[in-house]
Amino acid sequence: MPRKPVLQLSGVERHYGQGETTLSILNGADFELNSGEIVALVAPSGTGKSTLLHLAGLLEHPDAGEVTMRGRACNGLSDDERTAIRRNEIGFVYQFHHLLPEFTALENIMMPQLIAGLTKAEAAERAGQLLDYMRIGHRGDHRPAELSGGEQQRVAIARAVANAPRVLLADEPTGNLDPTTASYVFDALEALVRQSGLAALIATHNHDLAQRMDRRITIEGGKVVEM
């Protein structure tokens, strides 16, 4: 599948006030994420990784510059419009899976689809397919507490892509797993990205996993730099 820009940050700045001082986190940052690629975001804590992900995911507004999703400038959009883009075009995965404990793995993956308006039958079919794809179809009727850490994270990834987003943003998705399990979870995530053609930006401290991605970027002096 040919790659084309899905997400772009152009001249993005983000500053935070601390008392009488201003802390500049991003200062004229530029970044482009293409369909079908996995990009590793590797940078020390406190340099702006989470801020970059929040801006890319439309969870924060930049103080300057522009965030563009599939050619659509997002700065001037209403809160409802930004929420719709997050719901329909962006999937989020975090270090801790944040699965709903009272629901089964299948039901957790169904949830965002039901919110998006799919019928229960449609959501269940899609959720079952994703569980099979993640090689845990036999665990669909188990609740999170009955799953291993790797299984929980695979359910979280399946939930993140349940609505067929164009962009996947992940913040240390394997940071809570042992090296073997982390590699297995990344295998599943990578296969999903390659198969679907979505674009993935993954913040990680795991340099072995970062080496397996298409590109590696870091943040230096408030700017995004290719490694």
Query: CATH no. for residue 184?
Result: 3.40.50.300
Structure tokens at 157: 């990834």
Residue 56's pLDDT is what? 96
- Chain-centroid distance of CA 191 in Å reads 15
CA distance 95 to 8: 24
Give one word for 117, left, alpha or beta, with left for phi > 0 and alpha for psi -120 to 50: left
Residue 23's pLDDT is what? 86
DSSP state of 226: E
Structure tokens at 66: 């522009």
pTM of the full structure? 0.90
- Residues 95-112 have pLDDT tens digits of 778 899 999 999 999 999
Residue 47's pLDDT is what? 87
String of DSSP letters for 114-179: HHTT--HHHHHHHHHHHHHHTT-GGGTT--GGGS-HHHHHHHHHHHHTTT--SEEEEESTTTTS-H
Residue 176's pLDDT is what? 81
CA distance 142 to 144: 7
- Residues 129-166 have pLDDT tens digits of 999 988 899 999 999 999 998 899 899 999 999 999 99
Q: Which residues of the chain have pLDDT under 50?
A: 1
Residue 103's pLDDT is what? 97
Q: How many domains does the chain have?
A: 1
* Separation in Å, CA 192 to CA 135, 160, 162: 12, 11, 11
Host domain of residue 54: 5-226
CA distance 20 to 34: 39
Report yes or no: 35 and 197 within 8 Å, Cβ to Cβ. yes
